[in-house]
Structure 1
Amino acid sequence: MSWQLSSWYLLLVLLVGLERLAELVVARRNARWSMARGGVVHGRGHYPWMVALHTGLLAGCLLEAGLAGRPFVPALGWPMLTLVVAAQGLRWWCITALGPQWNTEVIVVPGLSVVERGPYRLPWLRHPNYVAVAVEGAALPLVYGAWVTALVFTVLNAALMVVRIRCEEAALASLAPGRATA
């Protein structure tokens, strides 16, 4: 195996990593806001696994593409890049719509209403942020042919999302009907 990787793909993965750091800054600010209003954190057990999986995604993209010498295939790479950009747009639409109620952890603030704006107003899309995560997790590695990383992330993320969504739904159900954050 030889190390071979395009500098533009390295830059793309680094930019996605910087985007994740920006999310953490927003999440920490929003967590302080939520906790000041009596917020309760749910599902702490699965959160470290999410952090590890998302970190592994970025590392896997670079390692597989570089060490396995994956080629850039324009017929696959360009559409996948488009999906990565679209996923980022959807993610930040979610973050903006949820405002201070958005977080990387499940934090429920008693007395707040379910958010029904932005992508959360669509009745057929209950968890749009998780759609963005799934799309990005499959597409980012495939931009540069890292199909093993895409497959492993997709399978592990699907399992983790079952846990996460159950946790989130239970946290929301623990509040009075119609009075929850999403």
Structure 2
Amino acid sequence: MSEVLFTVLVGLVGLERLAELVVSKRNAAWSFARGGVEYGQAHYPLMVALHTALLAGALAEVWIRRPGFVPGLGWTMLALVLLAQGLRWWCIATLGRQWNTRVIVVPGLRLVHAGPYRLLRHPNYVAVVIEGFALPLVHSAWITTVVFSVLNAVLLTVRISVENAALAALDRAPAP
């Protein structure tokens, strides 16, 4: 029974990710219509594949390996997953049309220093790290957690480098 509930949870996270992609696509169209320039296109398909593999891997591990649900761990990790979703949507709401799953810079726009961006330069990636660590552990899928976390650390090194370079270019742009 706990495997079924975990499958529902992962399905809900998958639907949330699809909602993000809808918002991202709409925001990308808005950005490109205003002269937006995309950075880091080469790593984007790897990022999509890794995040898809997180969901598939967690499900596969739970259904194949059949780890038990450990209430103390599971409920704590579920709380972290929910907090990560809240942080992610706070980031999306704060950035508005500037939020995207891609790195797109619109000339003339300024860096956002509101919401969670007052506290951290990349709060969305904090949400990604927390979710990637916690979601599989809701049902003790530690292999998925370790593999995703290691690969995500490598990918985020590239992604943050690309984004920092793009944001530096935006920050140097003259105000409209």
Q: What TM-score bracket applies, with the shorter chain setting the length?
A: over 0.9
Q: CA deviation at 1:75?
A: 1.1
- SS of alignment partner, residue 101 of structure 2: coil
Partners of 1:172 and 1:105 in 2: how far apart? 13
Counterpart check, 1:30 vs 2:8: no
User: Would the aligned equivalents of 1:5 and 1:66 in 2 still touch at CA under 8 Å?
Assistant: no
Q: How many pairs align?
A: 175
Please name the residue that 2:92 is paired with: 95
Please name the residue that 2:17 is paired with: 20
Partners of 1:106 and 1:145 in 2: how far apart? 33
Within a 5 Å distance, the mapping from 1:1-20 to structure 2 comes to: 6-20=3-17
Quick one: which amino acid aligns to residue 15 of structure 1? L
- TM-score w.r.t. length of structure 2: 0.96
Q: CA deviation at 1:177?
A: 2.0
Counterpart check, 1:159 vs 2:154: yes
Quick one: which amino acid aligns to residue 147 of structure 1? W
CA deviation string 1:116-139 (max 9, x = no partner): 1110111xx110000000000000
Quick one: which amino acid aligns to residue 173 of structure 1? A
Cα RMSD for the two superposed structures? 1.4
User: Would the aligned equivalents of 1:40 and 1:108 in 2 still touch at CA under 8 Å?
Assistant: yes
Q: CA deviation at 1:174?
A: 2.5
Partners of 1:101 and 1:87 in 2: how far apart? 20
Quick one: which amino acid aligns to residue 122 of structure 2? H
What 5-or-longer segments of structure 1 have no aligned partner?
none
Please name the residue that 1:121 is paired with: 118
- TM-score w.r.t. length of structure 1: 0.93
- SS of alignment partner, residue 41 of structure 2: coil
User: Would the aligned equivalents of 1:5 and 1:65 in 2 still touch at CA under 8 Å?
Assistant: no
Please name the residue that 2:165 is paired with: 170
Partners of 1:106 and 1:25 in 2: how far apart? 16
Quick one: which amino acid aligns to residue 81 of structure 2? V
Q: Give the share of equivalent positions with the same residue, in percent.
A: 65
Please name the residue that 2:108 is paired with: 111
